Amino acid sequence: MAGTTLDDYTDRYARRVRGMTASEIRALFAVASRPEVVSLAGGAPYIAALPLDAVGEMLGRLGSEHGATTLQYGIGQGTLELREGICEVMALSGIDAACGASPDDVVVTVGGQQALDLVARLFLDPGDVVLAEGPTYVGALGVFQAAQAQVVHVPMDSDGLIPEALETAIAEQARAGRRVKFLYTIPTYQNPAGVTLTEERRERVLDICERAGLLVIEDDPYGQLGFEGEAPAPLRARRREGVFYLSTFSKTFAPGLRVGWILAPHAVRDKLVIASEAQILCPSGFAQAAVATYLNTMPWREQLKVYREVYRERRDALLDALADLMPAGTSWTRPGGGLFVWATLPDGLDSKAMMPRAVAARVAYVPGTGFYADGSGGGHMRLNFSFPPPERIREGVRRLAGVMEQEIATRQVFGAVRGEGPRRRAGSDAPGPALA
């Protein structure tokens, strides 16, 4: 019957639910988890690199010896012990007491995702504009969509967010009469592009936002996972006011514990706690105790070095395989840390349209469309290197390259490939246009 729907509740949903869709990544989980599929899709850390026996014993003691407290309700801001540990972790990146970092201004969250949601709840009204790198983290796009905000992407290149493009975006929104609330940025080992904002650009971006009166939401899940020396100091280490620093233990310890945090300006701290209590009452006492005990009793700094070495080896395996196997016209970023490579396809290929054939060939990636609010980005894909071992990474690239070669051949037979003409082999060190 015309007008019917499989969802009997369609006319009862709130307006903010309209347009709510599953992310590109979540839709891939069922396929990518099959053992026969080489998954270059998700962003899962390599948990097997942890001393799992010692971690298991620690968790057992937390339950058997301290269960009366760790399994009880807690306070909305998070335990003081963990907040002090978080400050110690941030100090490694230069966010210390000298720049105003204090346990009093840390709010513990259920992973970095709740941190994003709390910021959106506090600052976004329907119709507000968020400026974000293009491409950007798919989970952030979901949060901003749920807040009924409009995301306007600012282009990047191999040096990160382009300051001139940021100035242009701010001016355009002002001329259109739209209210821009903040810049959301992942300046270090960006997800999905893998690029890092340079020292010089960090100061310029902060100056631009300060002049425009924009808040800066700095998301930094990967900053301590660098492979080639120290990363530039976070934005929050440079400016105290107007910069919110978000991070998580999901990439450096255990994502299953779901522990993250926000370092916020002091005036906002209480509102964040109130908003968090309205959502979850309090973060898990057991998960907080697990992270705090890990920081207090285990060599977590050495574990960071282990992760860096593991991920460096796997990044190199991916980059080598791409250079050896990808068809002409493909290019990609060369990340100095983090978990991801951003690849640009030969002209005429569409990563979303190609995905079913890749799955049939038993390889998975994330189409670039998932990282843009407007669904663009079909000429790109995100490749993860943190989870599969090097030999599986190479096999995955071999399968993926085969799919791409078939796509190119099919288009040459049944229709001209867009931009047809002589092609130059593009690799990770080849200069290229902005990531758009």
Regarding whether 349 and 268 lie in a shared domain, the answer is no
Judge whether 105 and 156 are in contact, CB under 8 Å: no
pLDDT > 80? residue 27: no
Q: Give CA–CA dist 124/86, Å, rounded.
A: 27
Regarding whether 268 and 364 lie in a shared domain, the answer is no
Percent of the chain with pLDDT over 70: 90
| Residue 153 belongs to a domain | yes
- For the chain, the domain total comes to 2
At residue 13, the pLDDT reads 78
CA count, 13 A, side-chain hemisphere, 6: 0
Regarding whether 262 and 375 lie in a shared domain, the answer is no
pLDDT > 70? residue 241: yes
Regarding whether 359 and 245 lie in a shared domain, the answer is no
pLDDT > 90? residue 279: yes
Regarding whether 73 and 33 lie in a shared domain, the answer is no
At residue 11, the pLDDT reads 76
Judge whether 436 and 155 are in contact, CB under 8 Å: yes
Regarding whether 76 and 24 lie in a shared domain, the answer is no
| Residue 90 belongs to a domain | yes
Taking CA atoms, 230 is separated from 60, 95, 202, in Å, by 35, 14, 15
**Nearest CA-CA partner of 351 in 383, 322, 379, 384:** 379
Calculate the dihedral angle through the C-alpha atoms of 395, 396, 401, 407, rounding to the nearest 10 degrees. Answer: 130
Q: 10 pLDDT band (50/70/90 cuts)?
A: confident
Q: 412 pLDDT band (50/70/90 cuts)?
A: confident
| Residue 425 belongs to a domain | no
Q: Give CA–CA dist 429/378, Å, rounded.
A: 22
Q: In the numeric block, which tokens belong to residue 351? A: 């990563």
Q: Which domain holds residue 197?
A: 66-297
Judge whether 128 and 179 are in contact, CB under 8 Å: yes
| Residue 7 belongs to a domain | no
| Residue 4 belongs to a domain | no
At residue 25, the pLDDT reads 59
Regarding whether 208 and 82 lie in a shared domain, the answer is yes
At residue 8, the pLDDT reads 76
Q: 436 pLDDT band (50/70/90 cuts)?
A: low
Helix spans in 251-350 (H): 266-280, 285-297, 300-325
Regarding whether 95 and 42 lie in a shared domain, the answer is no
Q: Give CA–CA dist 175/420, Å, rounded.
A: 39
DSSP 318: H
Least confident interval from 42-46, 91-95, 110-114: 42-46
At residue 1, the pLDDT reads 45
Helix (H) or strand (E) holding 380: strand 380-384
Domain boundary among 297, 318, 336: 297
Q: What CATH number did the domain enclosing 207 receive?
A: 3.40.640.10
DSSP labels, 140-188? HHHHHHHTTPEEEEEEEETTEE-HHHHHHHHHHHHHTT--EEEEEE--S
Q: 432 pLDDT band (50/70/90 cuts)?
A: very low
Task: Please state whether 167 falls in left (phi above 0), alpha (psi between -120 and 50) or beta.
Answer: alpha
pLDDT (tens digit, 9 = 90+) per residue, 174-206? 999 999 999 999 999 999 999 999 999 999 999
At residue 295, the pLDDT reads 98
Q: What average pLDDT does range 92-120 have in this prediction?
A: 97
Name residue, tokens 């991916």: 318
Max Cα-Cα span within the chain: 70
pLDDT > 80? residue 286: yes
Residues 6 or more apart from 361 whose CB is under 8 A from it?
A: 399, 400, 402, 403
Strand partners, 67: none
Amino acid at 402: G
At residue 229, the pLDDT reads 84
Q: What CATH number did the domain enclosing 336 receive?
A: 3.90.1150.10
Q: 308 pLDDT band (50/70/90 cuts)?
A: very high
pLDDT > 90? residue 423: no
Q: What average pLDDT does range 388-405 have in this prediction?
A: 98
Q: What average pLDDT does range 88-114 have in this prediction?
A: 96
Q: Give CA–CA dist 233/224, Å, rounded.
A: 11
Output 70-76 pairs: Cβ under 8 A, ≥24 positions apart. 70/285, 70/286, 70/289, 71/285, 71/286, 72/285, 73/281, 73/282, 73/285, 74/282, 74/283, 74/285, 74/288, 75/282, 76/273, 76/274, 76/276, 76/277, 76/281, 76/282, 76/283
Q: What average pLDDT does range 392-410 have in this prediction?
A: 97
pLDDT (tens digit, 9 = 90+) per residue, 334-344? 999 999 999 99
At residue 53, the pLDDT reads 97
pLDDT (tens digit, 9 = 90+) per residue, 52-90? 999 999 999 999 999 999 999 999 999 999 999 999 999
| Residue 43 belongs to a domain | yes
pLDDT > 50? residue 418: no
Regarding whether 293 and 193 lie in a shared domain, the answer is yes
Regarding whether 235 and 148 lie in a shared domain, the answer is yes
Q: What average pLDDT does range 33-62 have in this prediction?
A: 93
At residue 20, the pLDDT reads 63
Regarding whether 316 and 191 lie in a shared domain, the answer is no
Q: What average pLDDT does range 381-402 have in this prediction?
A: 97
Q: In the numeric block, which tokens belong to residue 423? A: 């092609």
The pTM (predicted TM-score) of the whole model is 0.92
At residue 9, the pLDDT reads 80
CA distance between the termini of the chain: 43
pLDDT > 90? residue 275: yes
| Residue 86 belongs to a domain | yes
| Residue 5 belongs to a domain | no
At residue 434, the pLDDT reads 62
At residue 429, the pLDDT reads 41
Regarding whether 34 and 71 lie in a shared domain, the answer is no
Q: What is the mean pLDDT of the chain?
A: 91
Q: 411 pLDDT band (50/70/90 cuts)?
A: confident
